[in-house]
């Protein structure tokens, strides 16, 4: 088994100047493709179960699926809870075999976010797994507006919570379908100077590929969450498969044709992050 904690894959990334892909999963077909893509690239991978994934599939089932995939490949695989909103949800993920908990208190006042995140981090560390927290709020394309991370607040958050990685808001947004934006380099540099933690970019699909690689090599950003970009690849491929033969109805036969294109799409994402031992 190559199951790993978040700390185990991000600390080498911080030291050696690369980032690890945190790939947002929605079901068996995509998570299997992502694990196989990581194997093909010879790179570690973080398989993430976010709120929409958990609404579809129970946490104990997701934990078993992630752990099964870690058994199938030879590269490190992190089983990561993405955007856990309650202690109960985080505890359930821990009990289900997840190796990393991301607690999202970013909508809450700073002191409350620190207090609750510290509690989750303590629980995770006692169980031998990792914890990611978020300071500043990462908004949504066409929805909630972001609140940028204050570097001094980030310093206090890192110091008081004991998290293993810290998600920041620096111009990134969730669910962005294009790469026309870019991250705030000045704010990133200030946060980087104020802390010594691996930093995380949520909403990584909207970050230009060139900036992803630059930041992976030249900053403490060690994890980019990628969801929308790969969901778009899934949807496009599925439409093509169905359009090729509108009379097809067998679900397994249809979905099996998505595997190789999804592997290719995920491999392209993984290559953006400068892993030195990759294919």
Count CB-CB contacts under 10 A for residue 40.
17
- Residue 144 makes CB contacts below 8 A (sequence gap 6+) with 137
Beta-bridge mates of residue 49: 25, 81
* Residue 82 falls in the annotated catalytic set: yes
Six token digits for residue 131: 């914890």
Output the CA torsion sign for 81, 203, 6, 232: positive
Q: Which helix (H) or strand (E) holds 255?
A: helix 251-256
Q: Which of 30, 71, 82, 192 is catalytic?
A: 82
Beta-bridge mates of residue 100: 80, 130
Q: Are 19 and 213 in contact (CB under 8 A)?
A: no
**Three-state DSSP class for residue 61:** helix
CA neighbours closer than 13 Å in the CB half-sphere of residue 73: 28
- Residue 245 makes CB contacts below 8 A (sequence gap 6+) with none
Q: How many helices (H) and strands (E) does the chain have?
A: 12, 9
Q: Are 42 and 277 in contact (CB under 8 A)?
A: yes
Q: State phi, psi for 221 to the nearest 5 degrees.
A: -70, 115
Strands 45-49 and 77-84: parallel
Cα gap 96→111, rounded to integer Å:
29
- Catalytic residue IDs: 82
């Amino acid at each position: 088994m190559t199951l790993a904690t978040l700390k185990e894959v991000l600390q080498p990334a911080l030291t050696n100047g690369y980032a690890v892909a945190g790939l947002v999963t929605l079901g068996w077909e995509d998570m299997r493709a992502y694990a196989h893509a990581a194997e093909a690239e010879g790179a570690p991978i973080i398989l993430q179960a976010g709120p929409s994934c958990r609404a579809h599939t129970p946490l104990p089932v997701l934990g078993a699926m992630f752990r099964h995939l870690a058994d199938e490949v030879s590269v490190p695989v992190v089983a990561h809870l993405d955007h856990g909103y309650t202690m109960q949800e985080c505890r359930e993920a821990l009990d289900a075999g997840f190796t990393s908990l991301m607690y999202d208190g970013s909508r809450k006042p700073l002191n409350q976010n620190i207090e609750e995140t510290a509690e989750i981090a303590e629980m995770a560390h006692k169980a031998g797994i990792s914890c990611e927290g978020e300071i500043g709020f990462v908004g949504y394309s066409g929805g909630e507006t972001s609140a940028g991370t204050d570097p001094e607040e980030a310093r206090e958050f890192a110091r008081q919570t004991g998290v293993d990685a810290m998600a920041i808001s620096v111009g990134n947004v969730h669910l962005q379908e294009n790469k026309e934006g870019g991250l705030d380099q000045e704010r990133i540099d200030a946060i980087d100077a104020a802390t010594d933690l691996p930093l995380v970019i949520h909403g990584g699909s909207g970050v230009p590929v060139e900036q992803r690689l630059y930041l992976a090599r030249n900053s403490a950003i060690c994890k980019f969450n990628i969801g929308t970009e790969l969901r778009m690849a899934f949807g496009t491929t599925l439409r093509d498969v169905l359009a090729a033969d509108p009379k097809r109805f067998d679900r397994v036969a249809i979905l099996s044709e998505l595997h190789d294109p999804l592997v290719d799409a995920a491999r392209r994402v993984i290559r953006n992050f400068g892993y030195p031992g990759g294919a």
